[in-house]
Amino acid sequence: MRVNGKNYHAVWMRENTVRMVDQLALPFRFRIKKSDSWEESAQAISDMTVRGAGTIGATAAFAVLQALLASSQKNYVKNCTHAVREIKKTRPTANDLFYAADSMLEEINKSSSFSGARQNAEKKARWIFESYLESGEKIGLHGNALLRKNACVLTHCNAGWLALVDWGSATAPIYAASRTGKKPFVFVDETRPRLQGAKLTAWELAQEKIAHCVIADNAAGHFMQKGEIDIVITGADRIAMNGDTANKIGTYEKSVLARENGIPFYIAAPLSTFDTHTESGKEIIIEERSQSEVLRVFGRGKHHTGEVEIYSKKSPAKNPAFDVTPAKYITGFITPKGIIKPKESEIRGLFK
Amino acid sequence: MRVNGKNYHAVWMRENTVRMVDQLALPFRFRIKKSDSWEESAQAISDMTVRGAGTIGATAAFAVLQALLASSQKNYVKNCTHAVREIKKTRPTANDLFYAADSMLEEINKSSSFSGARQNAEKKARWIFESYLESGEKIGLHGNALLRKNACVLTHCNAGWLALVDWGSATAPIYAASRTGKKPFVFVDETRPRLQGAKLTAWELAQEKIAHCVIADNAAGHFMQKGEIDIVITGADRIAMNGDTANKIGTYEKSVLARENGIPFYIAAPLSTFDTHTESGKEIIIEERSQSEVLRVFGRGKHHTGEVEIYSKKSPAKNPAFDVTPAKYITGFITPKGIIKPKESEIRGLFK
């Protein structure tokens, strides 16, 4: 998608160098970070320079390729095995991270020669990268059909192109609608505590010149009640086989409010988000993150850009990172293979 | 209530001086601001040094008294009339402000002499001040009956003692429960955009040594879903005769989520919050406040305490200050006269 009028991907690789949009610097600075080694690329995943399932997956694939390209013929299997082990430690719950790193290693292991391994690994990394691009584009194609002209869409957190190499999941239908002249308008939940809606989604939309506004998470229900929102589209972190969906904290609230107000509520996701090993939301453990994410916000002051404490440290916080939206509140899933109902039979059908 | 172990009111008057807890400095500094003239007291209302219906009402009454005490016998009616007019301009929608200022002026006008006016006005200001104290205490008494031992209460925004001279409205049942040994636990919605939950309610509770935690507004639904919340109690800005209630943005969201999860949802309010001139929520106009409240947060940094921008100014915001919770989501109103259902007959009964 566009930044300052030029097209970018969230991460890409040329020669031995991985380049990525530094998501920690956004929205205050747009900066491309370079990584010349698998260690640096792994570090970029763990320190959240890159984030989002697809972008993490592509970065992990590139990192394994970097490990291979930096190896001598003698040690390449050992080196790559070690690198994959380390890369998989960078984030605890990102399914795409494990999938990308493991399938790169598999490719390397099954090759009969060093040069064959290099060729196959390069092809595999390219394929992983492009499959994320294609997922986003197809989600956009299918999701666009749900949006009328001038549709008002509510979204939560950032399931944008920054998170899926390009197009995004929740944003893909919006970008597709914009490019087909529908002029969508987007209500962007700021998404406390980490504010990925305000910091990333709003920035993406501004760069793509799509009309939008940032709202306090508290205001979404009010705009639904007033009839100003036509459809809600969010991404997902993990989707169970019965349709229950784990996503950023607050998604459950929006789903209940959407149903109460008769507004369709869709989850947009690539196939890698559907977890065939999880039967229902009951099995999903919710990560409790640091209290300091609630206590502190990152912002730009007159004199200083950094974190400020917004209340007294004497008060503790609770900070569940995700919640589970039961399938009954979900109108449908927008997938690269089309739009499906939140039913086990339809979800399993995606994998046939 | 207690601050650093000592008892305070949000505002009080001794001799000709009004003293108030500076709510702009909280929670980072606890500071008592002194005002020696009606102009300074009016300024404290308009710049939000004091806020909350009852605290504004009491401050306004004291300000009119200051105007009278500063007047000569010759001009006192003219001076007080002028002061009341100016005081009523300080905040646009605070019903208690108009009520307090007008009833002080009425008292002055109906007195037959200067000394009589001083006596009656002093008595009236005292009565207004004490009626807020008494309202809070009685709300606490009635609301306490709704809380079991170790009850987990969710509250939104600050309807605490800072807002009602003492006790508060939504907090009064919690303080009462705590003082009767029930050890309540409070989930405090941080309440974006202005964060009055995190900045004021959490501070009040910490000072009263009541167990609590701050949560992102997004997390309230999750804790309801998990069965961790027994009851929701919020305050109100205005209650229509059919029970529809305007309160801080986000209240509507919590009410829908509470009903969906079978959790009782109560509004605690003094009688002055019930607006006998408003039939239903449809008549309530929602104030749209400055975009900068969403864009900026006030916090304490390592080097500087002040405002920071949390996202790019290129993105606009929408900032409705209040929303309307339809009566059907409200279990009951906790009033100084007892707990009533959200029905017109019961609401009108309060005024008989």
Q: Within a domain: residue B289? A: yes
Residue A19 shares a structural domain with residue A66:
yes
Q: pLDDT by residue (tens digit) across B259-279?
A: 999 999 999 999 999 999 999
Of A193, A219, A257, the CB nearest to B249: A219
Would you say residue B143 lies in a domain?
no
In a domain, A65, yes or no: yes
Whether residue A142 is contained in a domain is answered as: no
Do B35 and B167 have their domain in common? Answer: no
Q: How far is CA B66 from CA B18, B84, B122, in A?
A: 8, 11, 10
- A-B interface: how many C-beta pairs under 8 angstroms? 226
Query: Is the minimum CB–CB distance between A345 and chain B shorter than 8 Å?
Result: no
Minimum Cα–Cα distance from A30: chain B residue? B312
| Nearest-angstrom CA–CA distance, B277 and A149 | 41
Please tell me whether residues B73 and B153 are part of one structural domain: no
Contact A192 B216 (CB under 8 A): yes
Say whether both A190 and A285 belong to one domain.
Answer: yes
ipTM: 0.95
Q: Are A220 and A257 in contact (CB under 8 A)?
A: yes
- Among the candidates A96, A117, A137, a domain finishes at A137
Inspect the interface and report whether the beta carbons of B304 and A307 lie closer than 8 Å.
no
In chain B, residues with a C-beta closer than 8 Å to the C-beta of A312 are 27-28, 202-203, 206
Q: A203 vs B311: CB contact, 8 Å cut-off?
A: yes
Q: Is B196 helix (H, G, I), strand (E, B) or coil?
A: helix
pLDDT in tens, A191-229: 999 999 999 999 999 999 999 999 999 999 999 999 999
Residue A43 one-letter amino acid: Q
Give every residue of chain A whose pLDDT is below 50, as ranges: none
Tokens of B61: 């009454």
pLDDT-derived band at B82 (thresholds 50, 70, 90) equals very high
Cβ(B280)–Cβ(B241) below 8 Å = yes
Length of chain A as a residue count: 352
Residue A292, chain B, CB below 8 Å: the answer is no
Distance from CA of A139 to the nearest CA of B (A): 25
B321 interfacial to chain A (CB closer than 8 Å): no
User: Residue A97: which CATH number?
Assistant: 1.20.120.420
Same domain for B273 and B198: yes
Verify that B157 and B133 share a domain, yes or no.
Answer: no
Q: How distant is the Cα of A56 from the closest Cα of chain B, in angstroms?
A: 23
**pTM summary value:** 0.95
Kindly state whether residues A194 and A152 are assigned to the same domain. yes
Of A82, A104, A137, the position where a domain reaches its end is: A137
A205–chain B Cβ distance below 8 A for any pair: yes
3-state secondary structure chain A: CEECCEECCCEEEECCEEEEECCCCCCCCCCEEEECCHHHHHHHHHCCCCCCHHHHHHHHHHHHHHHHHCCCCCCHHHHHHHHHHHHCCCCCCCHHHHHHHHHHHHHHHHCCCHHHHHHHHHHHHHHHHHHHHHHHHHHHHHHHCCCCCCCEEEECCCCCHHHCCCCCCCCHHHHHHHHCCCCCEEEEECCCCCCHHHHHHHHHHHHCCCCEEEECHHHHHHHHHCCCCCEEEECCCEECCCCCEEEECCHHHHHHHHHHCCCCEEEECCHHHECCCCCCHHHCCCCECCCHHHHEEEEECCCCEEEEECCCCCCCECCECEEEECHHHCCEEEECCEEECCCHHHHHHCCC
Question: Same domain for A132 and A166?
Answer: no
Q: Does the CA dihedral B275-B279-B280-B285 come out positive or negative?
A: negative
Contacts of A230 (CB under 8 A, 6+ apart): A147, A148, A151, A152, A153, A263, A264
Could you tell me if residue A143 is inside a domain?
A: no
C-beta of residue B240 within 8 angstroms of C-beta of residue B279: yes
Are A98 and A187 contained in the same domain?
Answer: no
- Residue of A310, A313, A314, A324 for testing the chain B interface, max B β-carbons within 10 Å: A310
Residue B245 near chain A (CB below 8 Å): no
Number of domain units in chain B = 2
> Which residue would you say has higher pLDDT here, A96 or B317?
B317
Question: Is 80 exceeded by the pLDDT of residue B94?
Answer: no
Tokens (6 digits) for B223:
């804790």
Q: How far is B117 from chain A (nearest CA, A)?
A: 44
Q: CA nearest A140: which of A117, A164, A123?
A: A164
The answer to whether residue A196 is domain-embedded is yes
Distance from CA of B302 to the nearest CA of A (A): 7
A250 closest CB neighbour out of B218, B296, B299? B218
> Is there a contact between A253 and B206 if contact means CB atoms under 8 Å apart?
no
Same domain, A188 and A320: yes
> In this predicted model, what pLDDT tens digit does every residue of B11-32 receive, in sequence order?
999 999 999 999 999 999 999 9
pLDDT for the residue numbered A94: 73
Q: A5 touching B, CB under 8 A? A: no
Distance from CA of B77 to the nearest CA of A (A): 45
CATH assignment at residue A298: 3.40.50.10470
- Active site residue ranges of A: 237
- Note down the domain range covering A91: 2-137
| Mean predicted confidence (pLDDT) in B108-114 | 96
User: Chain-wide mean pLDDT for chain B?
Assistant: 96
Give the pairing of strands B11-14 and B17-21. Answer: antiparallel
Asked if A222 reaches chain B (Cβ–Cβ under 8 Å), the answer is yes
Q: Last residue of a domain, which of B137, B157, B174?
A: B137
- In terms of domains, do A293 and A168 share one? yes
DSSP letters spanning B300-332: E-SS-EEEEE-S-TTS-B--B-EEEE-GGG--E
Three-state secondary structure call for residue B248: strand
Cβ contacts (< 8 Å) between B193 and chain A: which residues?
A: 216, 218
Q: Do B162 and B130 belong together in one domain?
A: no
Instruction: Say yes or no: B218 contacts chain A, CB-CB below 8 A.
Output: yes
DSSP H or E stretch at residue B292: helix B292-295
A179 in any annotated domain: yes
Reduced to 3 states (helix: H, G, I; strand: E, B; else coil), residue B213 is strand
